Chains A and B, each alone.
Chain A
Amino acid sequence: MQVTINGQTHDLGGIDPDTPLLWALRDNLKLRGTKFGCGAALCGACTVHVDGQPVRSCSFPVSEAEGTQISTIEGIQGKVAEAVKAAWTKHDVPQCGYCQSGQIMSAVALLAENSKPSRADIDGTMSGNICRCGTYPRILAAITDASKALEG
């Protein structure tokens, strides 16, 4: 089985096709920025982009990833990703940081689709990402800043 991650094609050999994309990334491809939180698409820690759309990789079989373009936190690039990371840095968003790969992947997907999201738009996309440290006020501030930077 072949998958394309961050622009590079990898051969996963005879991997069990039911393997969640999360474990294929982490165990087979040694891309460990994508985190495991719940295993049931409830917390968003494992969010990656499949053809630009945010997907919970813990509940997405690797077989469905064939023929798609997958981006992970390690490879995410471009104007939106840079704006998001700059805003995250400015606000010192992370605390423990464990959910932040997923938060950033969701925020980039949101702003790539809608560079001027309303609060309801932000809530709509970001409510799938739990942060137990409670960094939400800073995530909101950072998304607002990134949006301004993209508009500017």
Chain B
Amino acid sequence: MIMLKFLNRAKPKGKLNRRQFLSVAAAAGGGLAIGFRPLAVLAEGDSPLNPLDVYIKIGKDSVVTVLSAHMDKGQGIYTGLATLVAEELDADWSQMRTVGATGNSKAYGNIAYGGTLQATGSSTSIFSSWTRYRQAGATARAMLIEAAAKAWSVSPQDVKVEKGMISAGSKSEPFGTFAEAAAAMPVPANVTLKEPKDWRLIGTTEAKRVDTAEKISGAPIYTIDVDLPNLLTAVISRPPKFGAFVKSVDDTEAKKVAGVTDVVNIGYAVAVVAEGMWPAIKAKRLLKIEWDFSKAETRSSSEIFDEFKKIAGEKPTVVATSKGEVEGAFASAETVVEATYEFPYLAHATMEPMNCVVAKTGEVIETWTAHQSSDGDTYAIAGVTGAKPENIRTHMLYGGGSFGRRTNFQSDFVVDALLIAKSINYRQPVKLQWLREDDMSGGYYRPMVVHKLRAGLDRSGEIVAWDQHIVGQSINIGSPFEAAVVKNGIDPMSVEGASDSPYAIPNFRVGTSYPKLPIPVLWWRSVGHSHTAYVMETMIDELAIATQQDPINLRRKLLKDSPRHLGVLELAVSNAGWDKPAAANVFRGFAVHESFYSFVAQAVEVSKLDDGSFRLDRVVAAVDCGVPINPDQIKAQMEGGIVFGLSAITAAEITLDKGSVQQLNFDVYDPIRIERSPVIEVHIVPSKESPTGIGEPPVPPLGPALANAIRQSTGKPVRVLPLRKAVGV
């Protein structure tokens, strides 16, 4: 998400210092949060946080509840954090639970973003939590031991903890017995974490998901399920083109619907407030809104692509990477391959459309949603309501999917809900619920992108020159994070995965240009890698074919100084069984890519069907994400990321017709369904490196691996996405 991209330059051990962070935090307030003071940060000399206050609650019933700094939208971080705590606490897995916690930046600030902003994104949750939550578990364990030793009048050295039981000699009690006393013990400053050889949960499959039971029982755990006394429901009518405003509203018919209490104009949209969803939906359909399109985007996608392609043919605005003598190398190259790629806007299309509940009691404002950045949203809440930070309570619920959608600089859907609540003077709590159509046409898409690429080969077939121009809207330029994230005019999120390519190409240049459009764009599961990996990994195959080399051998050669890339490459290839020839009408493709400090290789097989279309049958994937904390959850993210990538690359696109979004529901923005789900095998590198992300890294290689396989059959590359524009798939 936000700042790790900035930190990409510094690798995970780097982080924003306090001064840098404060400048970011101040900027983040933007126009919304004037007078809002920066969030607190733990300074040297502060007393250590009490883990039994901020990270772990132990009940009298011995239930251990981990307080999660990170929002769980399916990626399994609640299970991951519980694993880290249970490991060091020596709890029994069956006693572990996890809930979301917010409102304490000292405790919950994301370490990857400088340690002060609570946010979940860029696959950083495990990186941020690896030491923090193990330390919390170990410290809590020491405090339980102290409390037991005191109660039993024995030396702490004689107290043992095992599987949720505390014992000394013949005495044995569960955690609950000493929970209260332990929480009041002095907090030890230095605890020793277990050696890897002593782990009994980390790296095993014993830690099953902590949320499966509630998620299969229909428990009311999402924002859409929140219920409060006198809760009203709001739906919203947003402009049919980006950048339009409400000119006038005729709500005569809408207000006649029984159960409708208010119709409110919030400037860029009109909301119906009602006693329940059905009257709200009915009334929304009866609104007559006249829109002001004078500042709206009214072009169609083809016109925008034409503009992007024109820009791509010119010099880039900024150069992100330049090494060697690129022009000289092209001048002496034997062959030059040129290619232009087009990537459409993509919607996150989470299963739960965006929503947020707002209530005001006295001076206290409360919000309930899957706050992906509760601190970022807190700025927005302060800005809209004028509430003081100490009077803001954000409740971080499960997200019914996110893929990046639930945090953005504007806190868009949170602000919608706040403005509606404010418009009715907070007289009753309000739940804003977007309909699918609102969600699909609501913007914050993966940007539309054009890549223009030249690659030069010398007489012996070596790749000697590479020049790439990436054209698309910047996510960060013009945002409150520009100052911190954008350096020398380069938004790293637009070039990541290309400008930092591991391929050993001596003369290498990547430039970028940022056209401005009124269509909001956002991080979308794997961000820049979602398009750069496709370009890099399909072009490597093209160049291999052009020079009669095996694509995998060419990668081996170009990656000889990148051991972790090579590690996953070999692990995937050796498990794919590709030493034997493929069956008739089966074609193979491969891709390897690093993103978010994790390395993924995918070897795929497609079948050509009788009707000439292609079906992805099998993916053999390998991943190196450092210490595999929960191998089964790594596998789950690999499976899910592959299916997610398959949906995007085969069929997904958001297009505009004279400025209006053409895909409003799942009939035309149709994700992969079960019958297209391939067989997926996952192999995990048994690494001892610090653990890194797994939410996003599985996505980038799938598209190019699939395209490379199809190309083996058709002989033609596909450069205009989704694939379905060119081939049946």
Give me the interface of A with B, judged by CB distance under 8 Å: 16, 18-20, 23-24, 26-28, 30-40, 42-43, 45, 72-74, 85, 88-89, 92-101, 104, 122-123, 126-140
Which of A33, A34, A74, A140 is close to B674, meaning CB atoms less than 8 Å apart?
A140
A114 CB to closest chain B CB (Å) equals 16
Whether B215 lies near A16 (C-beta < 8 A) is no
Give me the interface of B with A, judged by CB distance under 8 Å: 72-76, 208-209, 211-222, 224-225, 227, 233, 258, 276-279, 281-282, 349-353, 398-403, 433, 435-436, 632-633, 636, 639-644, 647, 665-667, 671-675, 677, 679-680
Whether B349 lies near A132 (C-beta < 8 A) is yes
A133 to B637, CA, bound (A): 8
Residue ID in chain B nearest A85 by CB atoms: B216
Which of A32, A38, A134 is close to B436, meaning CB atoms less than 8 Å apart?
A38
Whether B212 lies near A135 (C-beta < 8 A) is no
A127 to B675, CA, bound (A): 6
A31 to B509, CA, bound (A): 58
Which of B215, B639, B642, B647 is close to A94, meaning CB atoms less than 8 Å apart?
B215
B237 CB to closest chain A CB (Å) equals 15
The residue in A31, A89, A131, A139 that gathers the most chain B C-beta atoms within 10 A of its C-beta is A131
A95 to B400, CA, bound (A): 9
Whether A134 lies near B640 (C-beta < 8 A) is yes
Which of B212, B221, B224 is close to A92, meaning CB atoms less than 8 Å apart?
B212
Residues of B within 8 A of A97 (CB): 74, 211, 214-216, 221, 398, 400
Whether A98 lies near B212 (C-beta < 8 A) is no
Whether A98 lies near B351 (C-beta < 8 A) is yes
14 residue pairs bridging A and B, Cβ less than 8 Å apart: A16-B258, A16-B278, A26-B277, A27-B276, A32-B220, A35-B224, A89-B213, A95-B76, A95-B640, A97-B215, A97-B216, A104-B216, A132-B647, A136-B674
Residues of B within 8 A of A16 (CB): 258, 278-279, 282
A33 CB to closest chain B CB (Å) equals 2
Known interface pairs A45-B351, A74-B218; 5 further A-B residue pairs with C-beta atoms within 8 A, sorted by A's residue number:
A31-B218, A32-B220, A88-B216, A98-B351, A132-B351
Which of B222, B632, B641, B665 is close to A98, meaning CB atoms less than 8 Å apart?
B222
Residues of A within 8 A of B666 (CB): 37-38, 40, 42-43, 130
Whether A132 lies near B671 (C-beta < 8 A) is yes
Residues of A within 8 A of B433 (CB): 36
A102 to B164, CA, bound (A): 36
User: Contacts A74-B217, A130-B666, A140-B674 given: A94-B276 contact, CB under 8 Å?
Assistant: no
Whether A98 lies near B639 (C-beta < 8 A) is no
Whether A95 lies near B75 (C-beta < 8 A) is yes
Whether B225 lies near A94 (C-beta < 8 A) is no
Residue ID in chain A nearest B72 by CB atoms: A96
A30 to B213, CA, bound (A): 20
Residues of B within 8 A of A96 (CB): 72-74, 350-352, 398-402
Which of B216, B224, B281, B674 is close to A123, meaning CB atoms less than 8 Å apart?
B674
The residue in A16, A39, A97, A127 that gathers the most chain B C-beta atoms within 10 A of its C-beta is A97
User: Contacts A28-B276, A97-B398 given: A127-B216 contact, CB under 8 Å?
Assistant: no
A138 to B212, CA, bound (A): 13
User: Contacts A23-B277, A26-B277, A137-B677 given: A94-B216 contact, CB under 8 Å?
Assistant: yes
User: Contacts A134-B642, A134-B643, A140-B674 given: A32-B216 contact, CB under 8 Å?
Assistant: no
Whether A137 lies near B351 (C-beta < 8 A) is no
Whether A132 lies near B219 (C-beta < 8 A) is no
